[in-house]
C-alpha cells in the first residue's frame, strides 16, 4: 500500500484545494410517475486525513449522498444539481468513463450490507481478486497476491484467504469488504454502516481497524452510521441529515457539546448515555416525511418541538456559528444583506 506522502495526486489536481468539497448536491429517484426528493441541497467538505460521520434516521439520504459522489446510483436515480470537487477537480456531470479514473482509485466505498452479499460458493481471495483484475488491469496471479496482501493489511491471515464466506465470521467478512475497497489505494474510504449488524465487540474491532488504516495509510474517512456513539468515538466532524437535507454540521466536539438544531438536540437528548441506548434514532416522536411529497418549508417542522409559522412555508437558510458549526433552522437569525452570518458560539438565548 502507498504511504500518504508517496500518493500521486490525479492530473489537474490543485494541491491547495480541499480534498473533497460537495456543494448543493441534489439527487432524485423516479418511481413510476413520482419523484423521490432523496438528497436536496447537501453541502460538506472533507479535508485530508479527516473523518466525517454522517448520521440521521433511515431514509434520510445518507447512502444516496455517498453513491452520488462516485456515480454508483441505481438506474432510476439522477443527480440534478450540485458540485463534487476532488482536489478541486469537478466530478459532477462526468460520464461513466470520466468517473472511472476517480472511483475506487480516489474514492472507494464499502457498500451497506455488502458483507452479506458475498458469493457463498467462491473463495474470499478470488472474490477480492476479481475487481482488482478489472480496476488495476493486472493478471489473475498478481491480483491474488494483492488480495492476500490486502487481507493481511485488514487483519485476515494469509492462511485464511482460501476460505469461503460461510467459514468466516461477520467481522472477518466485513474486513474482507474493507480490503476490497482498498485495492486501488484510495484517498477517501466511505463506509456505509460498516458496523451495523455486528455485535458490540466486533464493531469496536472494525472501528479500530478503520482508525489504524486512517493513520497508517493517511486515509480520509466518511463513516455513515445511525449510531451516534460510533461517530462520537471515531469521527472529527459530524453531519446530521434530515429528510435529504443537512440539519447541522460541524466538529464532533462542538456539535455534541452544544447541538443547535432541534433535530440534533432530540437525537442527542434522547440518549441519556451514548453507550447504553443505541436505538435513540427510533424514539423521536413521529416519523420522517414521505420524500415523494415533502413539506414545503423545513422538513422537520411537523415533528419540531419549537416550530414557528415560518418553518412551515420557508426553507431555513444555513447559518454559521463562530465555532464553524452550520445549522439550518429558522430559530437563528439570518443576515438581511445576504452576507454569511457568523453567530457567536455562546449567544444568550440560543442554547437550550
Give the footprint of ligand ATP on this chain (CB under 6 A).
29, 31, 36, 38, 56, 58-64, 74, 76, 112, 226, 291
Q: Which residues, in sequence order, are CB contacts of 349 under 8 Å at separation 6+?
A: none
* Residue 63 binds to Mg ion (criterion: CB under 5 A): yes
Q: Are 264 and 53 in contact (CB under 8 A)?
A: no
Q: Could you give the CA distance from residue 61 to residue 44 in angstroms, rounded to a whole number?
A: 14
- DSSP string covering 150-174, please? HHHHTT--GGGTT--GGGS-HHHHH
Least Å distance, CB 348 to ligand ATP, is 35
Least Å distance, CB 291 to ligand ATP, is 4
> 252 contacts which partner out of Mg ion, ligand ATP, none, CB within 5 to 8 A by kind?
none
Residue number with the smallest Cβ distance to Mg ion:
63
Least Å distance, CB 41 to Mg ion, is 19
Least Å distance, CB 192 to Mg ion, is 6
Sketch the per residue contact string, 100 through 119, with Mg ion: x for CB under 5 A, - otherwise.
Answer: ------------x-------
Q: Could you give the CA distance from residue 68 to residue 65 in angstroms, rounded to a whole number?
A: 5
Nearest CB to ligand ATP, comparing residues 60 and 188:
60
DSSP, collapsed to helix, strand or coil, labels residue 41 as strand
> 20 contacts which partner out of Mg ion, ligand ATP, none, CB within 5 to 8 A by kind?
none
Nearest CB to ligand ATP, comparing residues 144 and 226:
226
Stretch that binds Mg ion, among 5-13, 19-27, 54-62, 243-251 (CB under 5 A): 54-62
Least Å distance, CB 225 to ligand ATP, is 9
Q: Which residues, in sequence order, are CB contacts of 222 under 8 Å at separation 6+?
A: 46, 51, 52, 54, 66, 188, 189, 190, 191
Other C-beta atoms lying within 10 Å of the C-beta of residue 191: 26
Q: Could you give the CA distance from residue 188 to residue 84 in angstroms, rounded to a whole number?
A: 13
Give Cα separations from 7 to 4, 134, 184 (angstroms): 5, 21, 11
Least Å distance, CB 277 to ligand ATP, is 18
- DSSP string covering 73-90, please? --TTEEEEEEEEEETTEE
> 29 contacts which partner out of Mg ion, ligand ATP, none, CB within 5 to 8 A by kind?
ligand ATP
Q: Are 333 and 343 in contact (CB under 8 A)?
A: yes
Stretch that binds Mg ion, among 57-65, 135-143, 255-263, 341-349 (CB under 5 A): 57-65
Stretch that binds Mg ion, among 61-69, 129-137, 144-152, 340-348 (CB under 5 A): 61-69
| Residue 54, strand partner residues | 224, 239
> 200 contacts which partner out of ligand ATP, Mg ion, none, CB within 5 to 8 A by kind?
none
Interface positions with Mg ion (CB under 5 A): 62-63, 112
Amino acid at each position: 500500500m502507498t504511504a500518504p506522502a508517496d500518493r500521486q495526486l490525479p492530473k489537474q489536481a490543485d494541491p491547495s484545494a480541499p480534498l473533497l468539497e460537495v456543494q448543493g448536491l441534489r439527487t432524485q429517484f423516479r418511481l413510476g410517475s413520482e419523484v423521490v426528493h432523496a438528497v436536496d441541497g447537501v453541502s460538506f467538505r472533507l479535508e485530508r486525513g479527516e473523518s466525517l460521520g454522517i448520521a440521521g434516521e433511515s431514509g434520510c439520504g445518507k447512502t444516496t449522498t455517498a453513491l452520488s459522489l462516485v456515480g454508483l446510483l441505481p438506474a432510476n436515480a439522477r443527480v440534478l444539481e450540485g458540485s463534487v470537487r476532488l482536489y478541486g477537480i469537478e466530478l459532477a456531470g462526468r460520464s461513466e468513463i470520466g468517473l472511472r479514473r476517480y472511483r475506487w482509485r480516489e474514492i472507494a466505498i464499502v457498500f451497506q450490507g455488502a458483507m452479506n452479499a458475498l458469493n457463498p460458493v467462491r473463495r474470499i481471495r478470488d472474490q477480492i481478486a476479481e475487481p482488482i483484475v478489472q480496476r488495476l488491469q493486472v493478471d489473475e496471479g498478481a491480483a491474488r497476491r494483492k488480495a492476500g496482501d490486502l487481507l493481511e493489511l485488514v487483519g485476515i491471515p494469509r492462511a485464511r484467504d482460501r476460505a469461503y464466506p460461510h467459514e468466516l465470521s461477520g467481522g472477518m467478512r466485513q474486513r474482507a469488504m474493507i480490503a476490497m475497497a482498498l485495492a486501488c489505494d484510495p484517498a477517501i474510504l466511505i463506509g456505509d454502516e460498516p458496523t451495523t449488524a455486528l455485535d458490540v465487540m466486533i464493531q469496536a474491532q472494525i472501528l479500530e481497524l478503520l482508525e489504524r488504516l486512517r493513520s497508517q495509510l493517511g486515509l480520509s474517512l466518511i463513516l455513515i452510521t445511525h449510531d451516534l456513539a460510533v461517530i462520537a468515538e471515531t469521527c472529527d466532524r459530524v453531519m446530521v441529515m434530515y429528510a435529504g437535507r443537512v440539519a447541522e454540521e460541524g466538529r464532533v466536539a462542538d456539535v455534541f457539546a452544544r447541538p443547535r438544531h432541534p433535530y440534533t438536540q432530540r437525537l442527542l437528548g434522547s440518549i441519556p448515555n451514548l453507550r447504553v441506548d443505541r436505538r435513540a434514532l427510533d424514539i423521536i416522536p413521529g416519523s420522517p416525511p414521505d420524500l415523494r411529497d415533502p413539506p414545503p418549508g423545513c422538513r422537520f417542522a411537523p415533528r419540531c418541538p419549537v416550530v414557528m409559522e415560518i418553518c412551515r412555508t420557508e426553507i431555513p437558510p444555513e447559518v454559521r456559528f463562530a465555532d464553524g458549526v452550520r445549522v439550518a433552522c429558522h430559530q437563528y437569525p439570518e443576515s438581511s444583506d445576504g452576507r454569511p452570518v457568523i453567530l457567536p458560539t455562546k449567544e444568550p438565548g440560543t442554547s437550550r
